[in-house]
Amino acid sequence: MGNEVKKELLDDFFKALIKYEEFKEQLKETKLTPNLTVLLYGPPGTGKTSLTRGFAKKYDIPICIVESDRLVSPLLGDTIKNIRGVVELAADISKERGAFILFFDELDAIGSERSNIHEVGEIKRAVISFLQVIDRINYEGVPLAIFGATNHQHQLDSAIWRRFTFHFEFDFPNYHLRKQIIESFINKIKKAKIGVDNSIFSNLNNEYKEIHAIAKELENKLGRKISEFDDNVLWEEISKKSKIDGLLKLTYGYSGSDIERGTRVALFKAISTELLTYDMFFNSLRLVGGTAIHVERQDVLSSTKIRANRTKISEERRKRLPSPPEI
């Protein structure tokens, strides 16, 4: 889903949230109260929290961001109490003051799949409790919007998915958006009265035009729209027809946060020399690396860990089996 589509749907959501009080009673009578829930998922640093904050600020709606993993307690029953306590407090504020947003970051910490053999009973009960409080909020018609964000959507319980009305996927920015992000950060450096070598803009523009031309030619050839992230067809075509090795190629698989970190690294050098050069910026971005690489590594580590856990469980089960009788 494109960013513009997300923004349009979220715009409608926030407008409806503000006017919800006017129609609450009529909707309750018809048993058609809207489910004020939004699930945002995708790699870290792709704008899930910042986009929600931006809309909350635009419509002047208070927002509380909860780090979900901090609700999890080793003490039996405390996780459930923590979840209920946070939601009930937010509901009380909403009843008193109107529209309110409760944003659960890292939702998978309290919403993991209950069928997962590695999940302990406490987390399974926490999932049930979370579902119950969402249902109660919806039934009571409280103008409390519940947002959930996760980088590990595949770990979420299926019932969690069903409880959230809107599902918005966030992916790494494509080359169009990466160009805009890079330009915005470079312009901020210029605004700070630090010199910027014009070759950064000229090289970026030339690279963009070349990539875009190859992409359009490939789309005409295939008869369909292509995405950098659906498959590797675009960059395979680019490698055949071009020797592109610029900022846009480098930042494939970078999030907006990654580009910002690279800009901050380059800024230290630029402050001391009073000039940001192309090589300085390129090397700083290369140094920080892209989130896509870290996500892939983490997936490999997670898979390895799961296999190790399964092996350990199997060994423990074998140990508990009675020894075969001696013959």
Identify the bridge partners of residue 149 per DSSP, sorted by sequence position: 40
Cα(286)–Cα(290) distance, integer angstroms: 8
Checking if the pLDDT of 296 tops 80, the result is no
What band does 230 get if pLDDT is binned at 50, 70 and 90?
Answer: confident
For the chain, the helix, strand and coil percentages under 3-state DSSP, each to the nearest 5 = 65, 10, 25
How far apart CA 260 and CA 57 sit, in angstroms, is: 22
Cβ neighbours of residue 273 under 8 Å, at least 6 residues apart? 280
Q: Tell me the pLDDT band of 64, cut-offs 50, 70 and 90.
A: very high
Amino acid letter, residue 79: T
Confidence of residue 31 (pLDDT cuts 50, 70, 90): low
pLDDT-derived band of residue 211, with 50, 70 and 90 as boundaries?
Answer: very high
pTM score of the predicted model: 0.76
Q: Which pLDDT band, with edges at 50, 70 and 90, does 298 fall under?
A: very low
Structural domains of the chain in order of their starting residue, each with its CATH number: 3-169 (3.40.50.300), 175-291 (no CATH)
- DSSP state letters, 56-122: HHHTT--EEEEEGGGG--SSTTHHHHHHHHHHHHHHHHHHHHS-EEEEEETGGGT-B-TT-TTS-HH
- Read off the pLDDT band of 286 (50, 70, 90): very high
Name the nearest CA neighbour of 243 among 220, 219, 210, 218.
210
pLDDT value at position 168? Answer: 93
Express each pLDDT in 256-276 by its tens digit.
999 999 999 999 999 999 999
Residue with the bigger pLDDT between 323 and 202: it is 202
Report d(CA 250, CA 239) in Å as an integer.
13
